Amino acid sequence: MTNEMNGKVVLVTGATNGIGKVAALELAKKGASVTIVGRSAEKTAAAAAEIRQASGSSAVEFLLADLSVMAQVRRLAGEFLQKHNRLDVLVNNAGAYFSQRQLSADGYEMTFALNHLSYFLLTGLLLDLLKASAPARIVNVSSAAHTMGPLDFNDLMTEDYGMAGFKAYGRSKLANVMFTYELARRLEGTGVTVNALHPGGVNTGFGKNNTGLVKAAMKIFGRFSLTAEQGAQTTIYLASSPEVNGVSAKYFDKCKAVASSEASYDLAAQRKLWEISEKLIAV
């Protein structure tokens, strides 16, 4: 262990495997108190125990939530707030790809609910604590898939699913970047920064919740992709590096700020997405 993040409190969603788990481990090694979030009690408890052992830190705990369900996002935030009086880093990492169109418990298209609305709602519920803990950081894991095209506000729930879910996934990742930029503007002067990132093509459990050709394709993709350790580096960098102190409203790839898609910089679309998201989580 090092002491780079001693006294820092970190929350990482989607941390039972892949880049979320690696990021949680490395931040624990740096001395942070880490809370991981997962859906399965068995898997999440096992991941927390593994991170404790591998990091040598006892300050690793877990909370449970299905983040596609807005009521569970609210419960998660409430449980975290009961246990902690500060939050230095929020890593919104949980996400998935669905080859077939599904609806969440709230009736929303599953990709949009899990990959975007959970980021939006959880961040909003924890924002006062982040501000009170400033300087603090929000790290939103997006993807280069956000470049697939602009948002269609007439079809945010992707009724026309098509392309085996890639359209819905790309839109959700664009929503992550647009949310990042709009939130950064709203946080100016608070001491809380927010950035988005592309982790790279990573060989994790991602996409393997599907069946058939998609599952087979993911196996082939895994042979040529990054390891979880490699893919987590930008997340870890944005969560802990002093090089990004005060840096906000940026999109990172390989630990470098790069340009995101042209559509992601549309100010009117960013505001419209924010307003629609507020209405959806209120319902």
Give the active site residues.
169
Burial class (CB in 10 A: 0-12, 13-18, 19+), 190: middle
3-state secondary structure of 61: strand
DSSP letters along 93-115, please?
------SS--B-TTSSBHHHIII
- Token pair for 91: 């890593």
Q: From CA 36, how far away is CA 48, in angstroms rounded? A: 7
> Is residue 92 within a helix (H) or strand (E), and if so which, with residue range?
strand 89-92
Closest CA to 110 of 96, 89, 129: 96
Q: Of 114, 232, 245, whose CA–CA distance to 173 is shortest?
A: 114
Distance of alpha carbon 142 from alpha carbon 100, whole angstroms: 21
What is the C-alpha to C-alpha distance for residues 13 and 195, in angstroms, rounded to an integer?
16
Q: How close are the terminal C-alpha atoms of the chain, in Å?
A: 44
Sheet holding 136-141, edge to edge: 60-64, 33-38, 9-13, 89-92, 136-141, 192-198, 251-253, 256-258
